[in-house]
């Protein structure tokens, strides 16, 4: 087994099996935008559910929030986004293309793609100009009189501006956190790399408020915690690393940032950022709004502005990492097979029920009943079309951990075959215990059989 994955193979499988489609495809597509089909939605929802579980359900110190996409425009002035959330861009006067000044070395010349912008005699690049990444819109019916507003470029600010509401009602004392999953929008001009960088995407962000003296300890704690989350969901350790930002890379508010990077087919790239934001955000919103965002403990006579540790992850980028890490090809009985070796906890479908001879009404009836029983507790799929080999291949390509096959023997001795996606082992088990057998297997610890 070799790591045969490429971005093209992922794009093609995602499309073939209905995980991800180009957006507005019948109109020629829209750059850096994608739509998620059935299995894409299930996979994405599983990623989000595992994150929420790890953040909220399994802990006592974090509560959930769902804030608006459109916030008061002054939020983005106070946060520094109106002036500072920019990329340096250069235009080519010849080919009319636009490039990120800091990504020239990874960009293709619009006329000669084998060259980088600026490398041919025809290239005529402008000086870099700062370009704001926020999408602007208007509130109100009239284009001219409506109030300018922005689609949020990150979910974090919605958390900071709710700090007082949440801290009072949740009756939590630092260290405590607020977790949010939601859409964010950025007018990214660097296209490509599938769902790695898109105009709209979902973020999973935690703002963890701590006493200032404990900030560094919690910063290091969250780096490890988030690394363990990816490992626990099956990502190979050899493909994950932590990269601390150099002093020249740090944002204006940050006294420490580390990226968790994944070895994508495009090279090591950011999967998630963990930042020590200090008290920058709460102070900025206190100054701009006049509302004191601080921790007050009247009993202890304590009052201070907490520091914030922020693990900020992308749903779509994680999903891409899970797809890439799980993609595998092998030859079985002289036939190639493609399989997504997804961790069972995030696999879109947990079990497939396959009647071997669908036109046999007794077999189909037994299969259908088993399927009805399973779908009450887990995502199950019933598939009766095509040869059994093809049906297995289809389930392999969407990463279904188990398949149950009902055949003539089932009618004689009430047993079914359970097939394991990873080992391809097949075992006959009593149909009455099939549900428990699947649930037991799904609950077992899982490690990818892919080599590191
Ligand atoms: P990059 O350097 O890749 O532009 P960033 O450092 O600006 O990312 P953050 O602002 O830290 O990203 O956002 C947190 C996370 O949100 C990122 O680690 C990534 O997973 C995700 N993310 C950010 N921008 C995009 C995008 N345009 N498309 C998809 N996911 C994104």
* Structural domains for the chain: 7-85+155-323 (3.30.930.10), 349-443 (3.40.50.800)
Task: Give yes or no for residue 314 CB within 6 A of ligand 1.
Answer: yes
Distance of alpha carbon 288 from alpha carbon 281, whole angstroms: 11
197 lines ligand 1 (CB under 6 A): yes
CA-closest residue to ligand 1 atom 26: 197
Q: Would you mind telling me the total number of residues written for the chain in this entry?
A: 452
Q: Ligand 1, from 273, 276, 324: best to mutate by most atoms within 8 Å of Cβ?
A: 273
Per-residue pLDDT, 144? 67
Ligand 1 site, residue 203, Cβ cutoff 6 A: yes
Q: For residues 234 and 326, what is the distance between their CA atoms, to the nearest angstrom?
A: 9
Q: Which contiguous run of DSSP H or E holds residue 374?
A: helix 361-375
Distance 437 CA to ligand 1 centre (A): 40
Which stretches does DSSP call E strand in 58-159? 62-65, 86-91, 98-100, 129-132, 136-139, 147-150
**b vs e for 429-451, b when ≥16 Cβ sit within 10 Å of the residue's Cβ?**
eebeebbebbeebbeeebebebe
Residue whose CA is closest, atom 28 of ligand 1?
A: 197
103 ligand 1 Cβ < 6 A: no
Place of tokens 């009902």: 406
How far is 97 from 110, CA to CA, in rounded Å?
Answer: 6
- Tell me the DSSP string of 245-286: PPTTT--TT-SEEEEEEEEETTEEEEEEEEEEEETHHHHHHH
Pairing of strands 86-91, 98-100: antiparallel
**pLDDT tens digits for 351-401?**
999 999 999 999 999 999 999 999 999 999 999 999 999 999 999 999 999
Q: How far apart are CA 427 and CA 370, in angstroms?
A: 17
pLDDT of residue 142: 64
d(CA 402, CA 419): 6
- 312 Cβ closer than 6 Å to some ligand 1 atom: yes
Nearest Cα residue to 370 out of 328, 316, 431, 428:
431
CB-hemisphere CA count at 13 Å for 147?
A: 7
| 107 Rama sector, left if φ>0, alpha if ψ -120 to 50, beta otherwise | beta
CA distance 233 to 247: 32
Question: In the chain, which residues have pLDDT < 50?
Answer: 1
Best residue for ligand 1 mutational test, from 44, 152, 197, 261 (most atoms within 8 Å of Cβ): 197
Q: From atom 2 of ligand 1, which residue's Cα is the shortest distance away?
A: 270
Do residues 8 and 193 touch, judged by C-beta distance below 8 A? Answer: no
The pLDDT assigned to 143 comes to: 65
User: What is the token pair recorded at 311?
Assistant: 């693990």
For ligand 1, atom 12, which residue shows the shortest CA distance? 273
- Rounded to an integer, what distance in angstroms lies between the CA atom of residue 86 and that of residue 165? 30
Judged on CB neighbours under 10 Å (0-12, 13-18, 19+), 422 is middle
Q: Which residues contact 209 (CB under 8 A, 6 or more apart)?
A: 163, 167, 174, 175, 176, 177, 178, 295, 306, 307, 308
Our answer on whether the CB atom of 270 is closer than 6 Å to any ligand 1 atom is: yes
> Which H or E element spans position 176?
strand 176-185
316 CB near ligand 1 (under 6 Å): yes
Task: Look up residue 423 and give its DSSP letter.
Answer: T
Q: Are 326 and 399 in contact (CB under 8 A)?
A: yes
Give residue 1's pLDDT. 43
Please tell me the distance from the alpha carbon of residue 333 to that of residue 402, in angstroms, as a whole number: 20
The preferred substitution site among 179, 314, 319, 322 for testing ligand 1, maximizing ligand atoms within 8 Å of CB, is 314
């Amino acid at each position: 087994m070799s790591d045969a994955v490429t971005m093209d193979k992922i794009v093609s499988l995602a499309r073939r099996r209905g995980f991800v489609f180009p957006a507005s495809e019948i109109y020629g597509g829209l750059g850096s935008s994608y739509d998620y089909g059935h299995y894409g939605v299930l996979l994405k929802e599983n990623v989000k559910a595992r994150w929420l579980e790890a953040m909220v359900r399994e802990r006592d110190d974090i509560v959930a929030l769902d804030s608006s996409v459109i916030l008061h425009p002054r939020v983005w002035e106070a946060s520094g986004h109106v002036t500072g959330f920019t990329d340096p861009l250069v235009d080519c006067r010849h080919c009319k293309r636009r490039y990120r000044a800091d990504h020239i070395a990874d960009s293709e010349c619009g006329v000669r793609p084998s060259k980088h912008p600026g490398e041919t005699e025809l290239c005529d690049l402008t000086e870099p100009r700062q370009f704001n990444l926020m999408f602007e819109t208007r509130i109100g019916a009239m284009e001219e009189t409506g109030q300018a507003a922005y689609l949020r470029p990150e979910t974090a600010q919605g958390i900071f501006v709710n700090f007082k509401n949440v801290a009072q009602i949740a009756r939590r004392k630092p260290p405590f956190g607020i977790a949010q999953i939601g859409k964010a929008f950025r007018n990214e001009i660097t296209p490509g790399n599938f769902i790695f960088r898109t105009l709209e995407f979902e973020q999973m962000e935690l703002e963890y408020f701590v006493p200032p003296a404990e900030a560094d300890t919690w910063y290091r704690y969250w780096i490890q915690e988030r690394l363990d989350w990816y490992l626990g969901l099956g990502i190979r350790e050899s493909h994950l690393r932590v990269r601390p930002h150099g002093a020249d890379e740090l944002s204006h508010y940050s006294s420490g940032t580390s990226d968790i990077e994944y070895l994508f087919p495009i090279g090591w790239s950011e999967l998630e950022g963990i930042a020590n934001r200090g008290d920058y955000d709460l102070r900025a919103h206190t100054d701009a709004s006049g509302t004191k965002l601080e921790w007050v403990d009247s009993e202890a006579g304590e009052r201070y502005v907490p520091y914030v540790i922020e693990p900020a992850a992308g749903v779509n980028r994680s999903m891409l990492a899970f797809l890439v890490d799980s993609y595998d090809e092998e030859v079985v009985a002289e036939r190639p097979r493609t399989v997504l070796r997804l961790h069972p906890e995030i696999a879109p479908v947990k079990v497939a029920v396959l009647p071997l001879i669908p036109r046999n009404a007794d077999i189909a009836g037994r299969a259908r009943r088993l399927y009805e029983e399973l779908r009450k507790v887990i995502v199950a799929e019933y598939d009766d079309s095509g040869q059994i080999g093809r049906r297995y291949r289809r389930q392999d390509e969407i990463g279904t951990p188990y398949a149950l096959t009902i055949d003539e023997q089932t009618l004689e001795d009430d047993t079914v075959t359970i097939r394991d996606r990873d080992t391809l082992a097949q075992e006959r088990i009593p149909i009455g215990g099939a549900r428990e057998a699947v649930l037991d297997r799904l609950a077992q610890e899982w490690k990818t059989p892919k080599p590191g």
